[in-house]
């Protein structure tokens, strides 16, 4: 069976789905622990934070390691440990130490799986925007369905501290059995792509590999290649040393899970009471947010294929709209308005995730894809600090004022992204016009000039900017 067949990437996507389920099934359970165990805000925040404390190192280690030893060797062991993390939550429903240990292990498993598995799906896919959508869909589906099922079971099934976790045990085992049959992708030769850009006055150079201005975006990784100096193997991959990544991809990345955490953690807490078990409502908010995020991904893929900045602008714009509706939701303690805000925030999540993954994929080559994708996920997961940001800002600004500030920040980022996209488009058009002028002059002389590679890139813009 060819590596490009759908059955190959689906097996890996199922692993992502199962691990994402296990990672996010805990979100509505925070309300359950608050109600059943009488936990305070500090303890709830600690349970939330310990996951991130192991997730970030896992992401940083897993992506780069998978580029060296292969995707399969990184993904499968930690996909097997994901149900073990859930088992710890089942064995110690009233023991904070065991609950914390389970969350810590879940964070490590997520970090070691999400980056390498995303790169694995991209390796097995066609390489265009559809591959980014496949990875985003698998992750979003797990993130969305896990907490919905857990919330429903916690609200209406017996033993709300145990029963909600049981489905993940079966799902994790089944996904691992299927994932064991997924084909390994061959490790590429020890070479690193050179990122080509449109020549412009803002051109910048990299000490490891030539890279151009961030204003034009990266050419496909096959456009050029260069042997990497072995002494520089420990340095960050070339794409992570470009303005294209840090100005085009990184700024909007925290909005991916920032919008999600507002919808599934902050808003349910703001419009429900600690005296009532509201896991069902938290599950509904999760379904609304991730349902919208998954539903918008076909459009997000088309936007990413046409204009990477278009997807980013649309995603951040939806985040701004969601934060604006949240102002009224928290001011009036309105569950219906919070639901509307969750849909808008979910749209922002889906658009930003697909567009960001697509840009990261376009910047990276096969040799460093795992590291680049993992770095993108690290930046995206910074958005899970949003509950803490909201808590800190609530004191001086009040709840409506906090959401107003978040909405304003999103509007500013959308505007900056639009300005940058416009500048890149003008640079590309100028390069194409200059090339056509050169052709016309050569034709009058009877010659045939060679088109510069960077001009070809500008003539058919890619999404690496």
pLDDT at 30: 84
Burial class from Cβ neighbours inside 10 Å (0-12, 13-18, 19+) for residue 162 reads middle
- Over residues 250-287, the pLDDT tens digits come to 999 999 999 999 998 889 888 876 555 577 888 889 99
pTM confidence score: 0.73
**Which residues are CB-neighbours of 309 under 8 A, at least 6 positions away?**
248, 417, 418, 420, 421, 424, 465
pLDDT at 58: 93
Which range among 180-189, 241-250, 338-347, 363-372 shows the weakest confidence by mean pLDDT? 180-189
Bigger pLDDT: 139 or 43? 139
- Over residues 9-52, the pLDDT tens digits come to 899 999 999 999 999 999 888 888 888 888 876 777 778 778 88
- Over residues 415-447, the pLDDT tens digits come to 998 888 777 766 666 666 666 666 566 666 665
pLDDT at 427: 66
pLDDT at 465: 36
Which range among 81-90, 145-154, 225-234, 413-422 shows the weakest confidence by mean pLDDT? 225-234
Ordered structural domains, the chain, with CATH: 6-177+242-417 (1.20.1250.20)
pLDDT at residue 190 tops 60: no
Q: What is the mean pLDDT of residues 170-177?
A: 96
Q: Mean pLDDT in the chain? A: 80
pLDDT at 184: 86
């Amino acid at each position: 069976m060819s590596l490009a067949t759908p059955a190959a990437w689906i097996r890996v996507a199922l692993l992502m789905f199962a691990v994402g389920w296990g990672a996010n099934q805990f979100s509505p359970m925070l309300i359950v622990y608050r109600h059943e165990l009488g936990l305070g805000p500090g303890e709830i925040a600690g349970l939330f934070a310990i996951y991130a404390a192991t997730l970030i190192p896992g992401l940083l280690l897993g992506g780069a390691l998978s580029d060296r030893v292969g995707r399969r060797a990184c993904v499968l062991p930690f996909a097997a440990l994901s149900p073990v993390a859930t088992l710890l939550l089942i064995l110690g429903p009233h023991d904070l130490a065991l609950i914390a240990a389970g969350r810590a292990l879940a964070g490590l498993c997520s970090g070691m799986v999400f980056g390498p598995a995303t790169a694995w799906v991209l390796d097995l896919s066609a390489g265009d925007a559809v591959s980014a959508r496949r990875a985003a869909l698998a992750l979003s589906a797990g993130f969305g369905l896990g907490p919905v099922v857990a919330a429903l079971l916690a609200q209406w099934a017996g033993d709300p501290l145990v029963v909600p976790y049981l489905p993940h045990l079966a799902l994790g085992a089944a996904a691992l059995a299927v994932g064991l049959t997924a084909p390994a992708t061959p490790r590429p030769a020890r070479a690193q792509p050179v990122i080509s850009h449109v020549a412009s006055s803002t051109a910048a150079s990299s000490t490891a590999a030539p890279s151009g201005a961030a204003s034009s975006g990266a050419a496909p990784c096959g456009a050029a290649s260069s042997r990497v100096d072995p002494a520089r193997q420990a340095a960050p991959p070339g794409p992570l040393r470009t303005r294209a990544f840090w100005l085009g991809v990184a700024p909007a990345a925290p909005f991916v899970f920032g919008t999600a955490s507002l919808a599934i953690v902050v808003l349910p807490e703001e419009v429900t009471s600690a005296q009532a078990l509201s896991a069902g409502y938290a599950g509904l908010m999760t379904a609304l947010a991730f349902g919208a995020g998954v539903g918008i991904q076909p459009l997000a893929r088309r936007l990413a294929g046409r204009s990477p900045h278009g997807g980013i602008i649309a995603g951040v714009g939806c985040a701004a709209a969601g934060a604006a509706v949240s102002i009224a939701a928290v001011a009036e303690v309105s569950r219906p308005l919070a639901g509307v805000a969750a849909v808008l925030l979910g749209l922002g999540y889906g658009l930003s995730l697909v567009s960001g993954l697509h840009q990261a994929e376009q910047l990276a080559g096969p040799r460093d894809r795992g590291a680049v994708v993992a770095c993108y996920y690290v930046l995206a997961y910074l958005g899970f600090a949003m509950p803490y940001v909201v808590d800190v800002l609530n004191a001086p600004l009040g709840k409506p004022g906090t959401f107003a500030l978040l909405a304003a920040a999103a509007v500013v980022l959308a505007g900056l992204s639009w300005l940058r996209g416009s500048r890149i488009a003008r640079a590309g058009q100028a390069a194409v016009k200059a090339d056509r002028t050169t052709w016309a002059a050569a034709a009058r002389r009877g010659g045939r000039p060679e088109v510069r590679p960077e001009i070809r890139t500008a003539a058919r813009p890619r999404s690496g900017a």
